[in-house]
Amino acid sequence: MNAEIIAVGSELLTPFRTDTNSLYLTEQINQLGVEVIFKSIVGDDFKRLVAAAQHGLFRSEVVMFSGGLGPTEDDLTREAVAEALGVPLRRDEEVLAGIERRFAARGWKMSPNNAKQADVLEGATVLPNPNGTAPGQWLSGKFDRRERIVILLPGPPHELKALFEAECRERLRAKLPVAYLATRVLKIAMLGESLVDARVAPIYKQFGNVQTTILAGAGEIQLHFKTRAGTMDAAQVRVDEVADAVEEELDDAVYSRDGESLEQIVGYWLQMRNATLAVAESCTGGLLGERITSVGGSSRYFAGGAIVYANSIKTELAGVPADMIERHGAVSREVAAALAEGIRYRCEATLGIGITGVAGPGGGTPEKPVGLVFHALASASGTEVIERNFSGDRKRIRWFASTLALDMVRKKLM
């Protein structure tokens, strides 16, 4: 079965907004074994909407609309779909009463324009929307002699997601042949895409019935494996087989085998080892701390640390001797190590990280160019320093530096 998604709203045709609902919907319906073959984005224009709906109904078995269900004159999805299908709209009194109750509960009177949100395509099932006034609609049947499913969903992402999960997923599944999807995701930090692919392609290519996708970005490679089978067990066995073989090849470069983020994995290892972490960041300016603390409950293993931007602060908060900075420069192997050791001591943590480098765009020299970063990890057993020359802009250099530091912690603890 194939599907397409039509996102409705003139704001999605400006430079400022992009349609993100379709990524969620694609993920959901791919899991059901339905392929997305087309996406389109239409403004709040009746004729263009009707044409887009007609093209969609011609092309695809499932046509999903997001947006354009609100109360304003610009909200035209219901009317356009009715026109494209040649089906009338009927005002649903029960839906209308629900909208009125929603307003009354807040002490407001419903303004008359809201009534159009109770207009339902003849024959459609109303899909209740607990998070907004406009309900969704589901209509399946033969249109122009083709078997089609038409789904209208509200535009706000939290409304759309809740409604899809509660009302659409199982309805769609019931229309499909029974097939269970099993997936695995392996994540790898700080290795290049071509290097990873060269090592693992000979392996995953042996497993023709498992679909493998490589995604690369920002210091991380993701390997997605998926397959379908008549039972969940059969699908899982098949996907595990290839994932395990690939993982064995990549060994400890794989940091996550079930989709967890690097920040989460570092948290797991710290808790498993009953260890705590402190950081002293120069060029990353707080990014490493921000990433670690983006995980809820990180106070169980993250002590804190220092943003040692000025040289005097490296001395004041992380105890780096001023004459060491003088002698080796702030961006040096020695200062990175002293930051890691100093912050570990000051915060009484099991592990200390020190990062110092040149994030650019200014501040580079022939000896210490933009992109040069020293990463140090101090523990009871000593201090390790990794030097790297990252390419790219300030944002990329800082991201890579913080990723490498996180990966150092992981490797130390595993």
Subset of 316-375 contacting a second copy (CB under 8 A): 316-317, 346-348, 359-363
Q: Which of residues 97-116 bind a second copy (CB under 8 A)?
A: none
12 near a second copy, judged by CB under 8 A: yes
Is 298:267 a contact under the CB 8 Å cutoff? yes
Q: Which of residues 238-297 bind a second copy (CB under 8 A)?
A: 278-279, 281, 283-294, 296-297
CB atoms within 10 A of CB 382: 9
Q: Is 90 left (phi over 0), alpha (psi -120 to 50) or beta?
A: beta
Whether 40 and 52 have beta carbons less than 8 Å apart is answered as: yes
- Report the DSSP beta bridge partners of residue 212: 225
If one asks whether residue 86 binds a second copy (CB under 8 A), the answer comes out as: no
For a second copy, give the closer residue by CB, 121 or 375: 375
For residue 306, state whether it binds a second copy (rule: CB under 8 A): yes
CA distance 130 to 105: 14
Q: Is 227 in the site for a second copy (CB under 8 A)?
A: no
Residue 112 phi, psi (nearest 5)? -60, -30
| Least gap, CB of 400 to a second copy (angstroms) | 15
- The DSSP secondary-structure symbol of 71 reads S
Q: Is 299 in the site for a second copy (CB under 8 A)?
A: yes
Cβ distance to a second copy smaller for residue 381 or 391: 391
Contacts to a second copy from residues 186-215, by CB under 8 A: 213, 215
What's at 126, amino acid-wise? V
Binds a second copy (CB under 8 A): choice among 8, 34, 36, 331: 36
Q: According to the binding rule CB under 8 A, does residue 15 interact with a second copy?
A: yes
In the complex with a second copy, the residue whose CB is nearer, 135 or 155, is 155
- Cα pseudo-dihedral 194, 195, 197, 202, rounded to 10: 130
Kindly report the backbone phi and psi dihedral angles of residue 313, in degrees, each rounded to the nearest multiple of 5, phi listed first: -75, -30
Instruction: Check binding of 134 to a second copy (CB under 8 A).
Output: no
Say if residues 169 and 28 touch (Cβ distance below 8 Å). Answer: yes
- How is residue 210 written in tokens? 């498992």
Give the shortest CB-120-to-a second copy separation in angstroms: 27
Distance, CA of 89 to CA of 110 (rounded, Å): 21
**Cβ 226 to a second copy shortest distance, Å:** 11
Distance CA 8, CA 253 (A): 43
Question: Based on CB atoms, which residue is closest to a second copy, 98 or 319?
Answer: 319
- Which residues from 382-401 bind a second copy, rule CB under 8 A? 394-395, 398
Report, in Å, the least distance between residue 310 CB and a second copy. Answer: 5
- Part in contact with a second copy (CB under 8 A); list of ranges 45-53, 74-82, 113-121, 319-327: 45-53
